[in-house]
Structure 1
Amino acid sequence: MKTKAHLSLYWKCQLAGWTIASLYWTLQGFLTGGFRINLALVQLLSDVLIYILITHLYRNFSLAHHWEDLDLRSLLIRILPAVLVMGILYTLITILKLYGIRILFQLNAQQSIQEFLKLNGLGIFMAGIRLMAIWLLAYHLYHYAKRALRMATEKAKIELSLKQTQLDHLHMQLNPHFLFNSLNTIKSLIYTSPNSAGRGIDLLTELLRAGLYKGETLVLPLEEELSLVKDYLELEQLRMGDRLTFKIASNRSFSNIQVPRMCIQGLVENAVKHGVAVQKNGGFIQVLLTRSPDFMCIEVISPGRLSGKNTESGIGLKNLEERLKITYAGNASFDLYELEAGQVCAVVKIPTYE
C-alpha cells in the first residue's frame, strides 16, 4: 500500500512565505505599469527558488552546527553576522538575476552591470538585510518555542516518574508498618483469648486482601477504604475490648469518591495508638466525612491532648502528608489540633475533582 508524500511544516512555510513575497513584488510591478505576464512569471518563479535556496542553505548550516540548541545570547552572536552574510549573498544573486532578466527580455540592454549595481545595489542590499532578518527571526523563534515545549514535556515526564517512585517508596514503607502493628495485636490475643486471635487472623486476611495486595493502587473508592478501617477497628477491639468504641458517619453518595489508599486507616491507627490506648478507660473514636463542592473533609476525633511529644508526626502521619502532597500537587491539606473536653482532631481535606 502506497503512502502519500508528506510535506513538512518547514517546506510549507518556505513555499508559502516566499510565494507571498514574490506575489507582492509582482503586484508592485503591475501597479507601476509596463506589466508583462511572461516577465512576471519568470520573476516570481526565480524569486521563490533562489530565496528558498539561500535560506535552506542557512538552515542546513545551522542544523550541522546545532545552533538550535544554543542559548539566546550565543545564538544572537551568531545570527548578526549571518544576517550580514545572507544579505550580501541575496544582493549578489538578485543583481545577477535582475541583470540576466534584463538581457533576456532586452530591457535597457545598453546599461552595464556596474551601472546597474551602482544604481540598485544599496536598495537591494537593504531589502535583503530586512528579509533575511525577518526569516531568521521567524525560523529561530519557531525552534526556540519548540525546544521550550519539548523541555517542558520532558520535565513533566521526569517529575511524574519521580512522583510515582516516591509514592511507591511510601507505600512500601507504610505496608510493613501496618502489618507489624496488626500482627502484634493478634500476638497479644493468642494467650488471653484464642477465639479472638482466630477472629483477628480472619480480619487480617481481609485487610491484606482489601488493602495491602493492591500494591499499585494509589487511590480507591471511599467505600473500600472505610471497609478497611472497620476491619482494622474491629481487630483493635478484640485486643482492647470495651476500652475502644467507634462510630463512622458517612453518606452513601460519597461511596465512589476516590481517596488515597490507607489514608483514613492511617489516621484511625494514629488515634488508637496515641489516643485510646494511652487512656486509662480507653475512649471513643469518631470518623466524620463531609463534602463541599470541591473538597472532601475527613475528620478523625479521638481522646487525648497534644503535647510536644505526640504532636511530632510518626511514620504514619508523615507518610500521609507526603502522599497527599505528591498525589494532589499541594491541593490537599492535613491538620492536627486539640478540641475542648480532652479531644484531638485530625483533619484531611482532599479535592474531589478527578
Structure 2
Amino acid sequence: MTKKISSFWILQIGGWLGDFIFTCILYISFSQHVTQSFFVVGFMEMLEGILITALLRSFIVHFNILQEELRKQISFLVLSTIVVSLLLTLMNIVTDNFINSPTNNTHREPVLFLSWIVSFIIIFIWNLLYFAYHYVVKSNKERLDKARLESLVKELELKTIKTHINPHFIFNALNSIRFLVNENPVRARLAITQLSILLRSSMQSENISTTALERELEIVRSYLALEKIRFEDRLNIQYNIEENALKMQVPPMMLQTLVENGIKHGISKLEEGGIIKISASVDNAYLLIDIENTGQLQQVYNKNGFGIAGTKNRLELMYGGAADFSIKGFKNNIVITEVKIPIDMDGSVTK
C-alpha cells in the first residue's frame, strides 16, 4: 500500500521550489552573465530551506507550541524567525563558499546583511503561513466541536423533558383510575385499557422527535376517553381538525400535555365542568393548533408548571424562534392555548 504524502510536505516542497524557480527567473531576466554555479547554489539553498523549516516544524510539534496561548505563539514566531533565518544565512554562506571560490570583497558585510534580511522575510512568511493555517484549523475545529456539543445538549434536554412528561402524565392517569376502582369497576377496567394504550404510545414517543398530528390525536382521544369516565357529563369534548393538518408533524406527547393542562388547571377546578375543544389547520407555511378550554387564565397558566414550561422549551429547542406558543384568557371564562409550528412546502415540519 502506497503511503499518502501529507499536505505539509506537498506545500513545503512546492513552496520552496516555487521560490527557487522565481529567483531563477529574476536572475535570468536581469543578469548579464548567467553562470551555472548560480543554479547549483540556488538548488542547494532550496534544499537547506526545506531541511531547516522541517526541523523548525518538528520543534513546534514536539514542544506543543500550537497549544500555547496566542501571546506565547507570537513571541515564538518572532524569536524563531530571527534564529532560523540566521542559521539559514550561515548555511547559505557555507554552501556558496564551497561551490564558488571566496573572493575578497569590501562590500561583503552589506551583502551578508542583505542575505539575512531576505532569509528573515522568507522564514517569517513560512512561520506566518504555518501558524495561521493551524490557527484557522483549530478555530474551525473548536466551532465544530461547539456546534456538536450544542446539538448534544439540545438532544439531552429534549430527552430530559420527555422523561418528565411521561411520568407526569402517568400519575395523573392513575389518579383518575383510582377514583373509579371502588365506584365503578366496569369503567375502571375500561380506563385501564385506555391507560395501556396511552402507556404504549408514550413509550414509543421516546424514540422519535416528531410524529404525525393524526397519531397525536389518537393518543389525545384515548386520554380524553379516560378523563370522560372520570368527569362524565362535566366534560364536553369537541374537535375541529382540517384534513390537510392530519399528516403534519408535531413533537410527540405535546398535544396531550396541553390538553391535560387545560383539564387539570381549568375544567377540574369548576364544579360544573366545561368544554375542551381542539382545532388544527394549515395556514401558509404554518401548522396552527388551538386548544380551548373552560377556565380562568390565572388558573390555567402557571409559568412554573412543567406542562407549559416543558412545551415552550421543546418548541424552542426544536424550531428556535420559528415556532410560537401563547395562552390567552377571555372574559367569557375561556382560555385558548395556541401553538404555531413552521412547515415546509412538502408538508413536513421545519426543524
Q: TM-score, normalised by structure 1?
A: 0.89
> Which amino acid is the alignment partner of residue 69 of structure 1?
Q
Per-residue deviation, 1:38: 4.9
Relative distance call for 1:36 and 1:270 in structure 2 (3 A) is same
Per-residue deviation, 1:195: 2.6
Relative distance call for 1:348 and 1:32 in structure 2 (3 A) is same
1:214 aligns with 2:205: yes
SS in 1 for 2:183: coil
Aligned match of 2:271 in 275, 280, 300? 280
Per-residue deviation, 1:115: 5.2
2:116 corresponding residue in structure 1: 125
Aligned match of 1:98 in 90, 96, 99? 96
Q: 1:140-289 maps to which residues of 2 (within 5 A)?
A: 140-289=131-280
Relative distance call for 1:117 and 1:7 in structure 2 (3 A) is farther
Partners of 1:309 and 1:180 in 2: CA distance: 19
> Which amino acid is the alignment partner of residue 325 of structure 1?
E
2:346 corresponding residue in structure 1: none
Asked whether the equivalents of residues 244 and 282 of structure 2 are also in contact (C-alpha less than 8 Å), the reply is no
2:3 corresponding residue in structure 1: 5
Bigger mean CA offset, 162-171 vs 140-149: 162-171
1:65 corresponding residue in structure 2: 63
Bigger mean CA offset, 3-12 vs 244-253: 244-253
Per-residue deviation, 1:35: 6.6
Partners of 2:159 and 2:115 in 1: CA distance: 65
Per-residue deviation, 1:40: 5.9
Which stretches in structure 1 are left out of the alignment for 5+ residues?
A: 104-108
Asked whether the equivalents of residues 207 and 231 of structure 1 are also in contact (C-alpha less than 8 Å), the reply is yes
Relative distance call for 1:46 and 1:251 in structure 2 (3 A) is farther
SS in 1 for 2:207: coil
1:53 corresponding residue in structure 2: 51
Asked whether the equivalents of residues 29 and 35 of structure 1 are also in contact (C-alpha less than 8 Å), the reply is no
2:347 corresponding residue in structure 1: none
Per-residue deviation, 1:324: 2.4
> Which amino acid is the alignment partner of residue 14 of structure 1?
Q
Partners of 2:274 and 2:323 in 1: CA distance: 29
Q: CA offsets per residue over residues 99-137 of structure 1, 9 Å max, x none?
A: 33324xxxxx6x14x757424212111111111111111
Per-residue deviation, 1:271: 0.7
Asked whether the equivalents of residues 23 and 44 of structure 1 are also in contact (C-alpha less than 8 Å), the reply is no
1:106 corresponding residue in structure 2: none
Per-residue deviation, 1:192: 3.0
Per-residue deviation, 1:36: 5.3
Which stretches in structure 2 are left out of the alignment for 5+ residues?
A: 344-349
Relative distance call for 1:313 and 1:38 in structure 2 (3 A) is same
Partners of 1:49 and 1:95 in 2: CA distance: 14
1:333 aligns with 2:324: yes
Bigger mean CA offset, 8-17 vs 216-225: 216-225
Bigger mean CA offset, 216-225 vs 73-82: 216-225
Asked whether the equivalents of residues 316 and 323 of structure 2 are also in contact (C-alpha less than 8 Å), the reply is yes
> Which amino acid is the alignment partner of residue 333 of structure 1?
D
Asked whether the equivalents of residues 210 and 224 of structure 1 are also in contact (C-alpha less than 8 Å), the reply is no
Partners of 1:226 and 1:308 in 2: CA distance: 25
Asked whether the equivalents of residues 244 and 281 of structure 2 are also in contact (C-alpha less than 8 Å), the reply is no
> Which amino acid is the alignment partner of residue 78 of structure 2?
L
Q: CA offsets per residue over residues 322-348 of structure 1, 9 Å max, x none?
A: 222333345433222213422111122
Asked whether the equivalents of residues 19 and 44 of structure 1 are also in contact (C-alpha less than 8 Å), the reply is no
SS in 2 for 1:280: coil
Partners of 1:62 and 1:315 in 2: CA distance: 54
SS in 2 for 1:159: helix
Q: Percent identity?
A: 28
Aligned length: 345
SS in 2 for 1:277: helix
> Which amino acid is the alignment partner of residue 257 of structure 2?
G
Q: 1:20-99 maps to which residues of 2 (within 5 A)?
A: 20-34=18-32, 38-39=36-37, 41-99=39-97
